[in-house]
Structure 1
Amino acid sequence: MQLHIQQAFRAFILLTFSTLLFKLHYTRDISRFINPKYEVLSQIASIIFLILFFIQVTRVWSARENLHHNCHHDDHSCHHDHGDAPLNTKIMIAYLVIIFPLLTGFLLSPKVLDSSIADKKGAMLIVSKQNQASQVEKNKLSGESSPKKKELSGYESPIRSINLKNQREISVEEYNELVKQLEQKKTIEMNDYVYAAYYDEIGMDVGKYKGKKIKLKGFVYKEKELSKNQLVISRFLITHCVADASIIGFLSEVSKDPALENDTWIEAEGVLDVTSYNGTELPLIKIIDWKIINEPEKPYLYPINIKIM
């Protein structure tokens, strides 16, 4: 029997990938990398890696008389890899590329995106652009160029309480219900499920919600351009994975400098007002009460998917 070192190493890589994915799911750290709607796919990937590992194990040992099948080292027409070719630079680079994510996955602890990332992206610039885009979208919708707007404006049924807490995908009608509830509420509670949807709606028509009370939580981010009593209560929104994470947040103002450091998580209550930043109209929260909290177990936000029928 002949032991093929490279085939054994490849089997080990497949097993390690399967183990890494299993570990991320077991510790729930997978939520720090991808949108929960893809968790089932990553679980399937873990199983596939395990199946491929068992298939690969059959190639680790072989009878000497069957080595290379009908191929010979001097046969230039043989192009497939038997797994026992001498190591060269090309093969080594390929192995290093594959091993690198495994090393980082096992040796480095998952890190939550924080104000340092927000600073690099230019958080206030992003927030102002998001609101500018929302206002442009509002102008488009006012021309009834969107089916969602038509549905919303023509929807006349009474407000009913709907429980969509665990739904990742909702219908247009259900989304309209959420918006109706937002418009009717005296106090807007920005829980993780509705946060992204409410954020978009408020940004689309800032004046409509002026004077309403709002409750939210997020991490503190301060820019040099802001005054001492201003800060951004921020969250990261993940559409697919952390690579596409975007920051969303509300410019907030307190009566005096709260002396809060960046990345401090707070829960705040305030009143919505309107301000401008770089010529863009923005919602402003005038904070009336706040407290420091621990970073939540699930710090990221995820958009609600709307089924278009």
Structure 2
Amino acid sequence: MKFHFQHFLKALLLGLFTLFFANLHITGDIIKYINPKYDYMSKMTVIFFFVLLLIQVTRIWQEKHTHHVCSHRCDHDHGNSHWSLRRVVSYSIVAFPIVTGFMVPPATLDASIAANKGFLVSQGGGQSGGTERKSLMEGAESLVEKEDIDIYSSEHVPLPNENYLSEQEYDGKLRLLQESESIQMTEDMFSTYYGEINDNLESYVGKTIKMSGFVFKEEGLTGNQLVISRFLITHCVADASIIGFLTEFTGAVTIQEDAWVEIEGVLEVGNYNGYDLPLLKATSLNVVEEPSEPYIYPVLKMLGN
């Protein structure tokens, strides 16, 4: 029997990938990377890696006389080729994500990521109060309608914030937004409510809004201004979008960036660099602990319920 080190190395990498993803599901940290609606698909990936691992393990030890003879000039890898710089680089590229995955603990997206992505509309020249009004986040209006996904079966695994809603439930909550004088920005409808308020700002001026989020302070804000924000995860953290409300609060300067707060305020029309946008005049603000599920996700609507 001959030991093939490169086959062993491939098996080791497959084993580490299997262990890494399995551990994310066991600990629940998988939701720090992907939208929970892909949880089932991710679990299937773990099974797929495990099957590949079992196949690869059988190749580590082989009979000494067992070898592959090509009747043509072939470039594919038989697992016993000599090491070269190209081969070392190839293995290093595959190993890099799994090494960093184990060494760097999963972390919640924060204000530093918001700063890199950009938040408030930064370009000037807009028409105050005119038809060129932009939302707090560029493109926010398109986030909601594009991501309302129909599910054709009522059999589902509930998301952390219970984003699976029947058509009747969805319409009822949207109607509640339009009719109520006090708006609760719940996690399940946060993105929908946010898009509706930005699309029809004048219809909601004067209403009370209650919400929670983390504090983000963009350069250019005044001392009494901050942004109460949330990360919207459509598919995974790579496509995370920052949404939230510009807020005015007399004690804003004392609130640390990244702190989580619960806020209640009256919605008004604000202005930032010549653009009209929703502005919350805070009547109360309390610092709270970061929730176990800090992200929000688009609503998933179920048909026939």
TM range, smaller chain: 0.7 to 0.9
Distance in 2, Cα, partners of 1:136 & 1:245: 14
Unaligned runs of 5+ in 1: 142-147, 149-163
Would you say the 8 A contact 2:4–2:60 is kept in 1?
yes
Identify if the C-alpha distance between structure 1 residues 86 and 28 changes in structure 2 by more than 3 Å, giving closer, same or farther. same
For residue 53 of structure 2, what is the aligned residue in structure 1? 53
For residue 157 of structure 1, what is the aligned residue in structure 2? none
What displacement does 1:179 show?
Answer: 1.5
What displacement does 1:7 show?
Answer: 0.4
Unaligned runs of 5+ in 2: 123-132, 149-158
Say if 2:261 is the partner of 1:266: yes
What displacement does 1:39 show?
Answer: 1.0
For residue 29 of structure 1, what is the aligned residue in structure 2? 29
Distance in 2, Cα, partners of 1:115 & 1:216: 18
| Residue deviations 1:69-94 (CA, integer Å, cap 9, x gap) | 334xxx76244321010111111111
Q: Paired residue for 2:93, among 94, 97, 116? A: 97
Say if 2:178 is the partner of 1:179: no
Structure whose residues are more often helix by fraction = 1
Would you say the 8 A contact 2:136–2:277 is kept in 1?
no
For residue 2 of structure 2, what is the aligned residue in structure 1? 2
AA of the residue aligned to 1:249: G
AA of the residue aligned to 1:53: L
Q: Which segments of structure 1 move beyond 4 Å, counting only runs of 4 or more?
A: 126-137, 306-309
Distance in 1, Cα, partners of 2:184 & 2:213: 13
Higher relative contact order (CA 8 A, sep 6+): 2
User: What is the TM-score with the length of structure 2 in the denominator?
Assistant: 0.84
Please show how residues 228-267 of structure 1 align to structure 2 within 5 Å: 228-267=223-262
Please show how residues 208-247 of structure 1 align to structure 2 within 5 Å: 208-247=203-242
Identity %: 41
Distance in 2, Cα, partners of 1:25 & 1:216: 29
RMSD after superposition: 2.8
Distance in 1, Cα, partners of 2:204 & 2:222: 24
For residue 153 of structure 1, what is the aligned residue in structure 2? none
How many residues in Structure 1 have an aligned counterpart in Structure 2? 282
What displacement does 1:167 show?
Answer: 4.2
Q: Paired residue for 2:292, among 292, 297, 301? A: 297
Q: Paired residue for 2:73, among 74, 77, 82? A: 77
AA of the residue aligned to 1:125: V
Distance in 1, Cα, partners of 2:61 & 2:22: 27
Larger Rg belongs to: 1
Distance in 1, Cα, partners of 2:141 & 2:37: 29
What displacement does 1:236 show?
Answer: 0.8
Identify if the C-alpha distance between structure 1 residues 38 and 135 changes in structure 2 by more than 3 Å, giving closer, same or farther. closer
Would you say the 8 A contact 2:191–2:297 is kept in 1?
yes
Distance in 2, Cα, partners of 1:17 & 1:132: 37
Identify if the C-alpha distance between structure 1 residues 124 and 3 changes in structure 2 by more than 3 Å, giving closer, same or farther. same
For residue 144 of structure 1, what is the aligned residue in structure 2? none
What displacement does 1:270 show?
Answer: 1.1
Distance in 2, Cα, partners of 1:244 & 1:47: 26
Please show how residues 70-219 of structure 1 align to structure 2 within 5 Å: 70-71=69-70, 77-125=73-121, 128-129=134-135, 166-168=162-164, 170-171=166-167, 174-219=169-214
AA of the residue aligned to 1:229: N
For residue 276 of structure 2, what is the aligned residue in structure 1? 281
Would you say the 8 A contact 1:254–1:287 is kept in 2?
yes
Identify if the C-alpha distance between structure 1 residues 25 and 252 changes in structure 2 by more than 3 Å, giving closer, same or farther. same
User: What is the TM-score with the length of structure 1 in the denominator?
Assistant: 0.83
SS at match of 1:123: coil
Distance in 2, Cα, partners of 1:252 & 1:230: 6
Distance in 1, Cα, partners of 2:137 & 2:86: 49
| Residue deviations 1:23-45 (CA, integer Å, cap 9, x gap) | 11111111111111111111100
For residue 128 of structure 2, what is the aligned residue in structure 1? none
